Structure 1
């Protein structure tokens, strides 16, 4: 795992336990959360008491014309009047819950006390509990959230119930160092990124966006139709290089480039997709300093953040799993850019997709109050907030059943499970891939392994281009019935010369047996292309 430099895990762990205990104390003091249909909410209501932290900078100069022109949504604002229990509303378009054809739901979930000692990939299920949700649980005094609320229209900010959990989780894990931060639930990080790019970038201004030279292909496909050109920053095994970014920005010439200097960075700091690279604490600090120097706003996309694993030790006999407490787990995470952000120049995107269920399409963003306010104005007319079905199911699991500590135990167990999967794939690579032409750095976070092939040793290079050789290996692998993603699919600037030849493999879902077969077949495709004897 990347070095934490002066990061004191012992002291940090004690602070995390103290804050974890304070969450329930604040809830008890605040009393039962009362929030009905389409209730207006604000993450300020759920944060710890104000400290002496400074407020964020103003980001007007970074916002697009589209974002600056968005007005308040009148109908959404009118919903605030409904919070008055004596108000009889004839003004909204909310259907009656009596017309909803669902009376109750139930589902079985694992219990947190089994997580640390169980392999999530095992066929043996841990202890489970049946969770039930009724239509009128709030009226009956059974719960703070029910189907009559969740199945109706909501606010772009999501439900107060889910926002409370997300706000507390954000403060517990990241503790932003400025005062006026807020969160907003989203319909997943892909939708959140599209909204954020439209909020910060303009086609008319000739905007560009900095990103890693190999980046998430869907993100690149989000930029280009909006007329936003990605600019690739060179990488090493720790991800984005701050010196490369500084050189690009310091030498930027608008006339020769045909576009203005970038003012936004999109980065995946942990378990980067596709390379699997994780930025160390020192690397993040250096990148943040470059962003301060050039006034760059940072979009921090972190779907794999909690899958931070110990270093790969090579193939070995499984040893007994060591239980890890939640305080040590939290203190051992590489600090987020959000945790380093003294200016409010970071919008962090979190998601439940990679750690719970992708189909929930539920995540959240954290940023300064100004940025979140503009984000909400867009959400009000784009998606009206995340699904109530997703919110109540995850709230029932995370808040009412597991609680914050239970969810953190789940994340620890998930990390352990992915560590085993990663080790299985790496062992297969050690066994089946021709190391004379293929190399890799064992990932410490996430789901991806970045395989580097040496084009200089290929018998057809330079007569054939790197792209052509890569395509030939890909086609042969498909004939061998194995799929690995081509590196060129992830290039930020595909029109520039390639600096290497790569393939992305994932250990997210395949079994140990299937991973072994797949890597063996892929190794055969490489040998066939390079004319390497078996």
Structure 2
């Protein structure tokens, strides 16, 4: 065998035909990244894989003394989660509790120390999974990920590739290490993920928050910011955009195809790299429909297609997902993060990057002197699970995950509707509804007391008489795990006396009062990259409410407590 032709996991995938190759993006690398060299010992791994080779080059322990002989796990079946769960969970009676099985149906997976053919690079075995390895991870995993990227994202350039990472936060840290220098400028959404902030802020960068609406970054506003950039006043021209385009954290906004295309074209025009962080991509759901309201025939047909079993349902699900920025990327300027945290488990610390050859190669060099490959336990168990389920099984699992989160979103929004009187700006009938630049669709007021003189409740027409002061505003999310809720703090009696910091002071007070009542929200200021915002109007304080982990009963209890606490807080 010619050792110069030995395949190696770190080598890029074969270019796809019929598509352009990525442009040269090396000018986006900082000076440190340009000086990085390949790990000379890691380069020897490809030779150690040659059959018959006596491996005396590396200081590696023998698998014979690994204490793990086999690794096994009981995993849920891929169809464990229902595709169309009930809006309101059924209460279990005593008879059902006594005689029904509480244990879900599971399958067992086993990983041996040695596979039947240990020389097969696609084999999953503990002898190699738990051994020192290339930073690219086990060769079988990139093969699976390439199929996923090709099928789901459909990149528009030929020579893209993937690289395993230790979750999206790890990926963001490495990308910042690769691209940023002190004094650079970074574009972000005007509300953004704090974990990403922690990665770029140490570079003393100039952070620019881009205006948003219900679909994320407003392309025209972004173009204006860049066209009017003043280097003397604002510093270096931006070279990086960080965005969470699906189920944006914290707002829940989702960019659809036309918006992503517009933003991509602006980034191509100004030569900006797009860092696309997509942990909630497969949690893209239908638009929220209030309880008791029927879906339109078109929406119902789409729901029926997605919730049908078999290949047609899988195809409908994949077609329903918004296109990735990769789908419009002919330059190779997109660096996309994906993760198993929301579709498997966060503790696996396992995700991957998809990008152009120069970025994947440089990120590999950074990984070699940092995290190296993700944990062998995590990669072995996850890949074995994926192979056990098969491609169609994994897509069916993703559909069940989506349905579960849609159900929990509806629980929270239904609970808000029961705890507040809501008016929707979509009906265009009520002049008291506050329509904001952020695209909020619902404004909430205190539930009226039918016996009071201020107003009465009519079952057909809702609240008649005075509405009182608006309390909350929000837009139902179309993806993700959060409701981003604004509180009208300007209605607080101390608002005017507190001066310029009134919104922040009152939001912090309210957050602490809610915590004392055992309801914990995430304060909006934690997601604010630049400073105070007036999105939605002067005096709006924001909170991120997560519906991902709470039960139906906990959701309803929390919203009832929230409504009572807020009413008292604003009427001191």
Residue of structure 1 in register with 2:523 after alignment:
486
Cα deviations by residue, 1:429-457 (Å, 9 ceiling, x for unpaired):
11124432201111110100010122443
Quick one: which of 83, 103, 106 aligns to 2:49? 83
Task: Give TM-score, length-normalised by structure 1.
Answer: 0.87
Retained in 1: the 8 A contact 2:85–2:407? no
In structure 2, list runs of 5 or more residues that go unmatched.
Answer: 1-5, 91-100, 295-299, 421-443, 446-469
Residue of structure 1 in register with 2:569 after alignment:
529
Determine helix, strand or coil for the equivalent of 1:463.
helix
Match runs of 1:90-169 below 5 Å: 90-116=56-82, 126-139=104-117, 144-169=123-148
RMSD between aligned alpha carbons?
2.5
The structure-2 alpha-carbon separation of the partners of 1:115 and 1:519, relative to structure 1 and needing over 3 Å to count, comes to: closer
Determine helix, strand or coil for the equivalent of 1:112.
coil
The structure-2 alpha-carbon separation of the partners of 1:518 and 1:43, relative to structure 1 and needing over 3 Å to count, comes to: farther
Residue of structure 1 in register with 2:353 after alignment:
365
Retained in 2: the 8 A contact 1:220–1:230? no
In structure 1, list runs of 5 or more residues that go unmatched.
Answer: 1-37
Q: Distance in 2 between matches of 1:437 and 1:341?
A: 43
Asked whether 1:414 is paired with 2:448, we answer no
Displacement of 1:413: 0.5
Q: For structure 1, which segment, 318-327 or 182-191, has the greater mean C-alpha deviation from structure 2 after superposition?
A: 318-327
Displacement of 1:398: 0.4
Q: Distance in 2 between matches of 1:132 and 1:118?
A: 32
Match runs of 1:2-401 below 5 Å: 40-42=8-10, 44-45=12-13, 50-116=16-82, 126-139=104-117, 144-203=123-182, 206-257=183-234, 259-316=235-292, 322-323=307-308, 325-399=313-387, 401=388
Retained in 1: the 8 A contact 2:490–2:503? no
Residue of structure 2 in register with 1:517 after alignment:
557
Displacement of 1:230: 2.0
Retained in 1: the 8 A contact 2:337–2:352? yes
Determine helix, strand or coil for the equivalent of 2:111.
strand
> How many residues of Structure 1 are paired with residues of Structure 2 in the alignment?
489
Q: Distance in 2 between matches of 1:354 and 1:246?
A: 33
Displacement of 1:427: 0.7
Determine helix, strand or coil for the equivalent of 1:449.
strand
Q: Distance in 1 between matches of 2:115 and 2:380?
A: 12
The structure-2 alpha-carbon separation of the partners of 1:458 and 1:243, relative to structure 1 and needing over 3 Å to count, comes to: farther
Q: Distance in 2 between matches of 1:152 and 1:180?
A: 30
The structure-2 alpha-carbon separation of the partners of 1:140 and 1:234, relative to structure 1 and needing over 3 Å to count, comes to: closer
Q: Distance in 2 between matches of 1:510 and 1:43?
A: 44
Displacement of 1:496: 7.1
Q: For structure 1, which segment, 267-276 or 77-86, has the greater mean C-alpha deviation from structure 2 after superposition?
A: 77-86
Retained in 1: the 8 A contact 2:12–2:357? no
> RCO (CA 8 Å, sep 6+): is it higher in 1 or 2?
1
Q: For structure 1, which segment, 311-320 or 156-165, has the greater mean C-alpha deviation from structure 2 after superposition?
A: 311-320
Residue of structure 1 in register with 2:415 after alignment:
428
The structure-2 alpha-carbon separation of the partners of 1:137 and 1:129, relative to structure 1 and needing over 3 Å to count, comes to: same
Q: Distance in 1 between matches of 2:173 and 2:189?
A: 18
Cα deviations by residue, 1:402-426 (Å, 9 ceiling, x for unpaired):
1111110000001011111000000
Task: Give TM-score, length-normalised by structure 2.
Answer: 0.81
Residue of structure 1 in register with 2:97 after alignment:
none
The structure-2 alpha-carbon separation of the partners of 1:59 and 1:378, relative to structure 1 and needing over 3 Å to count, comes to: same
Q: For structure 1, which segment, 243-252 or 308-317, has the greater mean C-alpha deviation from structure 2 after superposition?
A: 308-317
Q: Distance in 2 between matches of 1:384 and 1:177?
A: 29
Structure with greater Cα Rg: 2
Displacement of 1:118: 7.9
Structure with the bigger percentage of helix: 1
The structure-2 alpha-carbon separation of the partners of 1:95 and 1:517, relative to structure 1 and needing over 3 Å to count, comes to: same
Residue of structure 2 in register with 1:24 after alignment:
none
Determine helix, strand or coil for the equivalent of 1:298.
strand
The structure-2 alpha-carbon separation of the partners of 1:230 and 1:331, relative to structure 1 and needing over 3 Å to count, comes to: same
